[in-house]
Every structure is written in structure tokens, then in C-alpha cells.
Amino acid sequence: MDKNTITITDNRDGKTYNFDILDATVGPSVVDISTFYKKTGMFTYDEGYTSTASCQSKITYIDGGAGKLMYRGYDISYMANEKTFLDTAYLLLNGELPSKEKLEKFSLEMKKRSYVHEGIKKLYDSFPDYAHPMAILSAGVSALSTYYFKHLKINTPEEYKEMANRIVAKVPTLAAMSYRYSNGLPIIYPDINKGFTENFLYMMRAYPHEYVELKPIEIKALDTIFTLHADHEQNASTTAVRNLASTMAHPYAAISAGIGALWGRSHGGANESVIRQLEMIASVDNVDEYIAKAKDKNDSFRLMGFGHRVYKNFDPRATVLKNIRNELMDELGISSELVEVAEKIEKIALSDEYFIKRGLYPNIDFYSGLILQALKIPKEMFAVIFVIGRTPGWIAQWSELTQQKNIKIARPRQLYTGPIDRTPK
């Protein structure tokens, strides 16, 4: 018998079935059950896909037990500390880090492509002032497919790069416009003399004919957040993008679907929830009370920003952000009750056996919310920031799926437990 197989026995009738084992470069092997229904007449059941690999990928690797994250084989701490977000975006989109010359060319293209069609403003004008920036951004990205549809042919590497670079460059502009429209502020166009992350902060903060100071530490902090959010394997929003890609939908429609999935408070909206919870706790004098509530199994209260579906150790992104948060607070001289509350919660959680035993360490959302607030970015924009960082990863994932030889449309099966034969005879 082939050793690279697994045998499953149906104890009801004693029949056995063999399935191939596929080995990964690193990480768990998988059982190829693509013929499971054909062989057994049954489906597998895996609610939430916690034990199911939906695809093969060469983009991102996570070892949740060891607290490790890699983009295209590069450790996340190296990318966050030694490289920029544009380095990261280029790596995800092209498979290799850029040379100095290629990075300069990529950066220039990002600047030139950052402007959006003026017709988008008419769409934005139709939204009410109180519209959430994520809703506006999703509509804006989806609308791009109307401007780049007839001549959108992605059959060559050059055509792919044009499509990918265009969406990565335009999302920050659409994001800044979403914020300013939702607050009734004048639109600020991109400045071709500014870098990628600097330009976004500029479009967020500037007013016509007024100088805006952007401190290097602020640009570095936001650039790091973009880098840390750039990709994260097959999460909910990436799966949404891949599912749409499997239908051969327009790539910008797939990105819009990813934005919709990311908006959920259990996904991209988690860091906003962290800040709202810190505001609810309000004072360091109340921390002990809420820690006790979090540890009480009969209490519905859950401490936001701790633990992760994948990481059972430290979230490696959180480790990077903690250092950035401290550096930002020191250089900007920020001191607030909210920061003190967060620091006390962190101190207790890192030393309390209850949290340690359950692997409830601070995750990326616990630190990113505080950093974004220090950068004067409003809470409703937190998920939008996530979108800007994640767009290169989504496009890389979209490309990887669409370049497969055989593309199967995503079509999960189900365990039906409803009524039958209710039609009157």
C-alpha cells in the first residue's frame, strides 16, 4: 500500500477507502478528499472550515503554534522593520522583493495611478453625509469595474500588473475620499511629490491651500500597519475574494466583496471594537472588575484584542506593533487614560495564569487601534485602513487562483437537517 495515503474505514459496513496525502513545503500535510463523495457517497463536515485546506498557495504561511508569519518566505518582522509597505506590495504581487530601481519605478507608477476618474465623485455625491466610509469605499471600488471593463483583458503578465497596480494605487484615494465625503469635507487630490503612505495621511488631514505637517514617525507607524495587514492566508475576506475569482467575476468586484467581508466586527472591525471597549472601561480603576468579568464563564463579557483563531502563541504582528506603539507614544508625547487602561490590561493578561493557559495573548487589533487613534484617525476609518493594507494580498490571491490550469467554482456542500416531503399530495 502506498505510504502517502490515508485509509478511512466505515464502521457501519467495514468498507475502507484510501485517499492521497499531499505534503506542504512547511506546515501540516493535507488529505486530498476531492473524490470523497464519489467513493463513499458522503460529504465531509467541517463547520467554519477549521480543518479544511481550500486551496494550494505560495503566498503566505502561518504557524499559529510558533507565532510565525511569512510573506513569500520572508518573516513578517523583517518586512515590517526593514522594508516598506511598497516593498511588501511588490513582493506579494510579483513574488520577489524589488531592486532599488524597480521599487522607484513601482513607487512612481503608484503616484501616477493614484488619481481616480472624476465621475466617481458623482457616485459619492449621492451618499448621505452619515454613510459609513466602508460602505462608500466598497461602492467606489465596485464602480471602478465600470471604468475599466471593456479594455480589461488579463491574459499576460503585463496586463495583470496594470490591473494590480491600478487598484493598489487607487484604493487609498478612494478611502480618503470616503472619509471626507462622510464628514462633509472638501476632497483633497493626491500629491505626486509624496510617497504612498504619506499621501494617504495628507489626503486625510489636509485642507485647500494649507500646509499640513506629517511627522516621519506617523508615516512609519501607518506604513507598518499597512505592511502587517498585507496578507494573512485564507481568512474570511480573502476566501470571499477567491470565491468570487472562481466565478471569473471582475477582479475589482472580487475586491469589493473582500471589503464587505472585512467590514465585520469579528474580522477587520475588531480593532474598532477594542477601542470602544477601552472607552467603556474608561478608567484604570475599573480594569480589575472587567478582568474578573472576562474570567467568569457565566458572564457574556469578552475581552477584545486578546487571542486569535490561528495564533495560539504571540501574534507576531502584535509584537512589532507594540514596539511601534511605544515609539509613537514617546515621540509624540501622547498620554491618555485610554493608553493607561490598555497598558494595565496588557500587564495583567501577560502575567495571569488564566490568559496564559488559554493562549490569550494580545493580538494585532489590541495595538493597531491605539496607534490609529494616536494618528488622529477616527474609529470608523479603522477597517478602511485595513483595506488599504490588504489590497495587494487580495489581488495576489485573486491572481494565484485565476492562473490555475483548472479553476473550479467554489461550491461547498451541506448537511441538510430541514423538513422533507411537505408538498401536499
Q: What is the pLDDT of residue 335?
A: 64
CB within 8 Å of 55: residues ≥ 6 apart? 234, 242, 400, 401
| C-alpha–C-alpha distance, residues 181 and 130, integer Å | 9
Q: How many CB atoms lie within 10 A of CB 152?
A: 16
Among the listed residues 327, 230, 342, the one whose alpha carbon sits nearest the alpha carbon of residue 281: 342
| C-alpha–C-alpha distance, residues 394 and 92, integer Å | 9
Phi first, then psi: what are they for 104, rounded to 5°? -65, -40
| β partners of residue 71 | 60, 74
DSSP state of 373: H
- Please answer whether residues 295 and 357 qualify as being in contact, where contact means their C-beta atoms are separated by less than 8 angstroms: no
Q: What is the pLDDT of residue 1?
A: 57
Q: What is the pLDDT of residue 273?
A: 85
Q: How far is CA 420 from CA 129, 412, 413, 415, 423, in A?
A: 48, 21, 18, 14, 8
Active site residue ranges: 308, 365
Side-chain-side CA neighbours of residue 205 (13 Å): 16
Q: How far is CA 157 from CA 86, 147, 276, in A?
A: 19, 21, 44
Among the listed residues 88, 360, 342, the one whose alpha carbon sits nearest the alpha carbon of residue 225: 88
pLDDT digits (tens, 9 = 90+) for 82-119: 999 999 999 999 999 999 999 999 999 999 999 999 99
CB within 8 Å of 51: residues ≥ 6 apart? none
**Low-confidence spans in the chain with pLDDT less than 70:** 1-2, 150-153, 333-335
Q: What is the pLDDT of residue 309?
A: 78
pLDDT digits (tens, 9 = 90+) for 297-324: 899 998 888 888 788 777 899 989 988 8
| C-alpha–C-alpha distance, residues 127 and 51, integer Å | 41
What domains are defined for the chain?
5-63 (2.20.28.60), 73-414 (1.10.580.10)
CB within 8 Å of 198: residues ≥ 6 apart? 214, 219
With b for 16 or more beta-carbon neighbours within 10 A and e for fewer, the 371-385 pattern comes to bbbbbebebbbbbbb
Q: How far is CA 255 from CA 129, 212, 258, 336, in A?
A: 24, 31, 5, 37
Q: What is the pLDDT of residue 239?
A: 95
Q: What is the pLDDT of residue 125?
A: 92
| C-alpha–C-alpha distance, residues 165 and 246, integer Å | 21
Give the global pTM. 0.91
pLDDT digits (tens, 9 = 90+) for 269-294: 778 888 889 999 999 999 999 999 99
Local structure of 368: helix, strand or coil: helix
In the chain, the amino acid numbered 311 is: Y
Per 3-state DSSP, what percentage of the chain is helix, strand, and coil (rounded to 5)? 55, 5, 40
